[in-house]
Structure 1
């Protein structure tokens, strides 16, 4: 009898993501390319969104709760909405929904496990250790990956490093894999490393289908203490730009090369970034999705309360890396120039073609 592992079940569910949402997240509703609901336990509301179709933002079936930073796939939706605990029960429910046969009992096999460490997994200490074990990006797959996405302004990227054999485990029931990865240091306002972000990369290179990311379910993961902190490019003074993704902010940096910028790694963490005491004007680099809108609204409220001017800059497409790749750097320069303060055009913008 055929066997369907967690990855295959998640892929099959994602093919009909809207039907899964209508069945297990019935308290929500569709809005554009997303299913909006209160949380993964099917509470009414709008803070959680499920991507219904694959796009440049990611695969179908992936969800994020902007209020809690929880994220996962449709197997997690089934587990939480049905109140299940054991994976076998989740898998059986998924197979029932998909009308798949139940598998034969799984034979016992030996798994190769990574060496044990005295540093707690996922802790700030583990993040600092991973970053220290990595190497500068010059001449590595990370540099090639960023350039393949149109990012050529790589000055001041000491917060990024390359790890050629970074561990990846799809879930607790799967063996550990090894992939090359971009490692980003998450730091507090004093520059102390509190966490790390891993972007696993495809050693085969860039394509429009994978955008250079490894062909795995969750090619991006963070670890450590993230709340309020960010991946930083430059030292913030009176002016700073903040957004979600590393590639998004590095793309904007191609046309604003001297403006300090931070990547908060998610919409929820963007809405919670801590402000430097020197900050007087914050540019919010908005992603064009429901979570991005929520983060923007929260940040505007927080900056107003702190006496900081907030200016939203929006891409024409989904995010600024899409603008850079698909519209070109001249278009991105025009998009940005029309949205920032006149004094900052003179101060920060690269005007040469």
Structure 2
């Protein structure tokens, strides 16, 4: 079964080989019917070449590194460039890519850039995400690890942009800062918006600017989603909060609504039967909790509140440590979900 899945995904990726290369091998360039780059880990150089079109020599998407003899397909590119080890993670990243708008060929990019879209619109968000890259080995990974977050499985909706525009106000000049870009999606996985967290140049904290986070696009009811929801899922406000909860229950799908107001309005998947609300310890968090419980009850969904010991779950993770976080979350889960979703950390 795994072999069939891999073969199908490799074939689908091969049909969009140039887009895959522009996305995961951004240090390279197109030359004729090939993409040239240093190696499969996106090192600058020209020794590795990826076939962009089917030919008598082989199908699109196959690569060879002339320096090392290494060869493979675009699933291998995703595995190495994103630093993924688990096959399930590679499959999820590939499927996420195949559902996203993709970097286009050079002629199309010029035409694309000549067609402006409204600032802050859903289309502007999709273009920003298409220009970003996976987070493996980037400042986004450094930033999250510095906040105690190390479980990156299922985080394909998080991206990195090295020079994301930032403008303090309409009278100020535009600046560029590295940024964590998060894709906001609806229940079908369609990208409706984007959230930007501007980062310091060393990646150890947020950028030293007045407004460190901004969202754009159609946000109401939608969220930054991690994993595929089933009968149970967790939802919270901030990305760091939700990722911290995932450290304790890595097997459970989760969603970051980006604000208390949007958390209260988050849409429920049809399969959902039990919703864990990861609240923040503040008045806005309490209000979102109450509204969401009321909506869940009306939909026949059991709502269970997860409460941090400190101000939020990332504070718990950073100050109290992962063992204390897991212990606190464990006693708040339904017994069947402890067995089902915490076995990876037992």
Partner in structure 2 of residue 157 of structure 1: 155
Quick check: 1:171 aligned with 2:164? no
CA contact (8 A) 1:165 1:180 kept: yes
Query: Are the equivalent residues in 1 in contact too, given 2:279–2:308 (CA < 8 A)?
Result: yes
Query: Does the C-alpha gap of structure 1 residues 352 and 273 become closer, same or farther in structure 2, counting only changes over 3 Å?
Result: closer
Mapping 1:47-58, distance limit 5 Å? none
* TM-score, normalization by structure 1: 0.65
- Pair 1:305–1:148, CA change in 2 (3 A): same
In the alignment, the residues of structure 2 paired with residue 260 and residue 174 of structure 1 have an alpha-carbon distance, to the nearest angstrom, of 40
Q: In structure 1, what is the equivalent of residue 258 of structure 2? A: 265
Render the CA deviation track for 1:144-190: whole Å, top value 9, x for unaligned.
11001000101111000000000000011111110000000000000
1:160–1:283 CA distance, 2 compared to 1 (3 A): same
2:250 is aligned with 1:252: no
CA distance in 2, matches of 1:155, 1:143: 12
1:117 Cα offset (Å): 5.6
* Counterparts of 2:182 and 2:202, CA distance in 1: 21
Contact 2:140/2:203, CA 8 A, preserved across alignment: no
2:196 to 195, 198, 219: 198
CA–CA distance in structure 2, aligned partners of residues 327 and 157 of structure 1:
24
2:234 matches 1:241: yes
- Corresponding pairs, count: 234
Hey, what does 1:123 align to over in structure 2? 121
How far the C-alpha of 1:350 sits from its partner, in A, is: 4.1
2:139 paired residue number: 141
Distance in 2 separating the partners of 1:261 and 1:279: 12
1:285 lines up with 2:278 in the alignment: yes
**Alignment match of 2:304 (pick from 284, 290, 311):** 311
Q: Which runs of 5+ in 1 are unaligned?
A: 1-114, 207-211
Q: 1 or 2, which has the higher helix percentage? A: 2
TM-score, with structure 2 as normaliser: 0.66
Q: What's the counterpart of residue 215 of structure 1?
A: 208
Superposed structure 1 runs of 4+ greater than 2 Å apart: 350-353
Give 3-state SS (helix, strand or coil) of 1:332's partner.
Answer: helix
- CA offset at residue 204 of structure 1? 2.9
Task: Report if aligned partners of 2:248, 2:345 keep a CA contact under 8 Å in 1.
Answer: no
Could you list the per-position Cα deviations for residues 52-83 of structure 1 after superposition, in whole angstroms to 9, with x for gaps in the alignment? xxxxxxxxxxxxxxxxxxxxxxxxxxxxxxxx
* Aligned partner of residue 131 in structure 1, secondary structure: helix
8 Å contact kept, 2:223–2:258: yes
Q: For 2:337 and 2:199, how far apart are their aligned partners in 1?
A: 35
Q: CA RMSD in A?
A: 1.2
| Structure 2: segments with no counterpart, 5+ residues | 1-112
Q: Secondary structure at the match of 1:254?
A: helix
Which residue of 2 is the match for residue 112 of structure 1? none
Q: Distance in 1 between matches of 2:184 and 2:151?
A: 20
Checking the alignment, whether the CA contact within 8 Å between 1:255 and 1:350 is kept in structure 2 is: no
Matches within 5 A, 1:271-350: 271-350=264-343
1:196-242 deviation line (CA, Å, top 9, x unaligned):
00000001342xxxxx1000011100000000000000011110100
Q: Counterpart of 2:61?
A: none
